Chain A
């Protein structure tokens, strides 16, 4: 009697047929998996997030500069220079500056002057961005970075 220890031999044709089916299945799954990788680029096709905002001397205490193209706002106090992103943390609209802070045109999020959420759906405060100094002495803002609110770069 054929059993587990002494299995009935698989007929050669069945074996070849099954082997063919399985290799076809593996080939299909494999190629689909390969193709599925295509839409996810390994490197994102965009410029680095650092923005030159001019020499430190251009930022005496009390300066406020808005860079609309980069959607950032750079301020200087006697603590130093700080940069804040103007992109709403809700769904990415650009906030507008009002007398009492910032408000977002898209779903009504409101932020105070430090970027903290006052109302609306925004889940977190506006991002503060790290500042560093380039070799030529001008200040660099990293728009992809993130530092705790209230972080100033001392010049």
Chain B
């Protein structure tokens, strides 16, 4: 009898303590009350442990990072959530895709809003990734030991664009259909060159690439499924893996770059450049240096430990703030501006002008001189050049300083002016005077492919960088010159493509001057 009641009593006790034991098993520790406990929590939590337990305040300075890396990650998070929601209604088939987007827009509760958020977050992400890249470049943060992380970052940039582009086809409207037709034909454009030198018959890499992308020779059902799979599975997974590696390496390389500090092998991690020796018996808990988890100076390491601050709360709070700010932006944009949806895709009549999404319009401008050079060669050269920058500029001074100081600022300004003038000239000349074919009607196609405004602009930029290299004797300055030129070139060509190109890709000062037809 007694055992029974005590058994029941025990059970009752367990029932009563159910909430607290559930919570304990879930969080494994009670709410941290000291910096030390907060550091422990970061360290022990699978979701938080990508942070180091302490960060340098420099990494928190708004005017240094502008929160752009975190913003890109936050937008990716928003995109994943909204994207999964959209998948509940979207049907990847040429018959139903357009209708399902219409359903989302008009019938599904909050469907229109979610789709708008997805759309705007995607655009914002392209911008933040670009700006993040520029920030990393201009602060010299690609330098040793971060060279490879710069390369990973470039990969993430390409993945971001690829994700935007593959998402573009899914609504199956006119915009989508013709943008993908053009995109797939850019993949096929090496044929332009192989044709011109007459080897297409043996080596038709262009057609192969196009077929791989579309699963057919024209944009249709197979292309839609392929782009869908890329958009919702392959590319996001690759991006998530790449992002983890990217962030992990930032941490392993000693946190964000900052001035006056070359990371040495011993100095990885937080605070101390000399790890505090600890024998196992004196370190009953995790050995990220007990000294690091209390405030104030400590005589033990001769290091100003106030140099770092605990990630919790400072870093986590900053991250949360960035997430909230960008969620807010996306919400506001989504509330006021609807994502466009043109008429149903019509394979026999393109839009006029048929324009790609804005971040590709610079490319479209280049492509309108030569598909192969503008769509394949120049982007590939630019990407390879960017990837090589940390290996070709190995100067160690001035990491973590904007423009590497006053000289760099001047170089950047000069290159900005030069790059802008060159880009404007390369658009203005063909617009006003035509190009080779207008001057020499019988000219061989090979010349038209090779000598076009896109090639010349790229060559001018490279020459300018070489000039800056000679002038300053510094590879860093040459890199700044080249990067700045490409950045303004991209900005100007994008603006031209967006604002000044109208029907038949003719030049107009304003869309209101487009002929009505």
Contact = CB atoms under 8 A, between A and B. Distances in A.
Contact of A39 (B215, B445, B448): B215
B216 A91 contact: no
Contact of B371 (A46, A91, A94): A91
Given A39-B215, A91-B367, A123-B195, A104 B504 contact: yes
Contact of B352 (A39, A105, A119, A124): A105
Interface centre among B196, B350, B364 (most CB of A within 10 A): B350
A92 B369 CA distance: 15
B130 interface: no
Contacts of A68: 348-349
Given A41-B215, A44-B217, A92 B181 contact: yes
A60 interface: no
B367 A45 contact: no
B445 A123 contact: yes
Contacts of A104: 504
A120 B218 CA distance: 23
Interface in B208-244: 208, 211-212, 215-218, 220-222, 226
B364 A107 contact: yes
Interface string A102-141: 0111111000000001111101100000000000000000
Contacts of A108: 368, 504-506
Interface string B252-274: 00000000000000000000000
Interface in A49-100: 68-69, 71, 90-94, 96
A40 interface: yes
Interface string B75-97: 00000000000000000000000
A121 B196 contact: no
Given A40-B211, A107-B368, A119 B438 contact: yes
Contact of A121 (B181, B215, B348, B369): B369
Contacts of A40: 208, 211-212
Contact of A94 (B217, B348, B438): B348
Interface in A8-55: 39-41, 44-46
B186 A45 contact: no
Contacts of A117: 437
B52 interface: no
B369 A91 contact: no
A91 B348 CA distance: 14
B118 to A, nearest CB: 27
A114 to B, nearest CB: 14
B131 interface: no
A93 to B, nearest CB: 5
Interface string B176-187: 001001101110
Nearest to A46: B216
Given A107-B364, A124-B195, A44 B211 contact: yes
A46 B448 contact: no
B149 interface: no
Contact of B349 (A94, A103, A106, A119): A94
Contact of A93 (B186, B354, B370, B434): B354
Contact of B220 (A46, A106, A124): A46
Interface string B426-449: 000000001001100000010011
A126 B499 CA distance: 29
Contacts of B449: 123
A44 B351 CA distance: 27
A93 B181 contact: yes
A105 B185 contact: no
Contacts of A94: 348-350
B353 interface: yes
B504 A103 contact: yes
B192 interface: yes
Nearest to A41: B215
A2 B438 CA distance: 77
A119 B440 CA distance: 11
B484 interface: no
A121 B367 CA distance: 8
Closest 6 CB pairs of A and B: A107-B368, A105-B352, A108-B505, A91-B185, A68-B348, A92-B185
Interface of A: 39-41, 44-46, 68-69, 71, 90-94, 96, 103-108, 117-121, 123-124
Given A94-B350, A103-B504, A121-B452, 14 more contacts: A41-B215, A45-B216, A46-B216, A68-B348, A69-B348, A71-B347, A91-B189, A93-B354, A105-B352, A106-B505, A108-B504, A117-B437, A118-B437, A124-B195
23 contacts: A44-B211, A44-B216, A45-B215, A68-B349, A69-B348, A91-B189, A91-B367, A92-B184, A92-B185, A93-B182, A103-B504, A105-B354, A105-B504, A106-B178, A106-B350, A107-B368, A108-B504, A108-B505, A118-B437, A119-B438, A120-B368, A120-B437, A123-B370
